[in-house]
Structure 1
Amino acid sequence: MSRLLAAVLALLPGMAAAQAYEGTIVDLQYQKYDDGAGFELDSIEGTLDASWMFGRVGVQAGLVIGKEIDSSDDLDFQHYRGLALHLTTDVSDSLRLGALVASDNRFDGIYLYAAEALYMNGPLRVEGRVGDNFNNGDSFSLLEVKGAFTIAGGLSARAGLHYSDYGDAGYYRVLSVGAGYQMNNGAELYADISRHANDFGAGSPTLNGSLFDLGVRFNLGGGNSDKAFSYQPLN
């Protein structure tokens, strides 16, 4: 993770001076997890993404920081963080492709790379990626798809799928649905409900739970912030 952080920090001064600033997005969330059997865990999370474009080629850097704040059990609350770096290219005005490297320090930590795409056309926004782990000794693959459709008056419907496959060690799956509301000042309020499945392989039970997210997403400037990828390393 430290090598990725050093690479991101080394890139930022040159990108800022290049007058190719595209935009910055700040996303703040409150999350409440419930396993349906009496265990609950509350956390807060913040994501910062900034992007720059040089013609049709660009870069996006992302930072996410989270903290567990309350639980039904007596736990040692965890702090966690993640980094993501995207190299991007605009194939057309509606289609952006990207190459992602990302890491986080939650649980055993994940160091991954992925190919990603973002398609925007009128009220429709669809984003997806497929990825793998840098550690060839671990069986891992990632699939993510998320979409939003603006209905009317700033109201949008949202849905998403996250699937991490660990081979013989099982899988982690999240299915989510939600709604968002775009305010006049560029901020978006949103709420998502998701269903989690955590499978630990043959002979182990699959743990299921639900997560409620309540968040606000701020556009802090730049004319094309909506074209930034919205990857969150820890979800």
Structure 2
Amino acid sequence: MFLRRKKLDLPTPEEALPGRDSAMPVSGRHTVLGTPLTGPWPAGHQVAIFGMGCFWGAERLFWKIPGVYSTSVGYAGGITPNPTYEETCTGLTGHTEAVQVVFDPSVVSYQQLLKVFWENHDPTQGMRQGNDIGTQYRSAVYATTDEQLAEALASRDAFAPVVKDAGYGEITAEIAKAGPFYYAEDYHQQYLSDAKNPNGYCNHGPNGLSCPIGVAKSTSS
């Protein structure tokens, strides 16, 4: 029982795994979009980071949005530098599975990305998403600018009454300024693309709630 409870607690710096100095090697190109996976990014583009549970399906939601230049999956919000997937799954790195979204704000706004985030998972489940249980599945928004942080907090406040009226609990999504984003192993990148796993499973999709900001531009998965 102690181990079960501990799995749902974030580690302290003393408990966290040591990690490593070297970054995870990944492909230079996005499997679907053909754009760079690790940069450099075009002038004027911005970076957003979201955690929605398993990062496979979450990434697919974002790469389909017009105005999104590149996406990648990785680990964010934790302590351990350059963790592996297996280390992250122990709960001893502090990271959640995350999607990094590079977008052109002249085509798609950060608010529109937030709308896709809120409407395609359950942000009230704490350290889990559906049957996926653990700290690595927690809901999160990591803002890369002060403006993003303000918009993310405002979007949560706008969505909270909708969630409550639908009978859900309190929103537990973590919203904070972004720390380092560590790329996941190459086989995780664009995992649900036709080139890798066209029949792959993900549990992301509309939760039936409408977040009252922006207008989502995603297509159905």
Structure having greater relative contact order (Cα 8 Å, sep ≥ 6) = 2
User: Which structure has more strand as a fraction of its residues?
Assistant: 1
TM-score by length of 2: 0.29
In terms of fraction of residues, the more helix-rich structure is: 2
Higher gyration radius (CA): 1
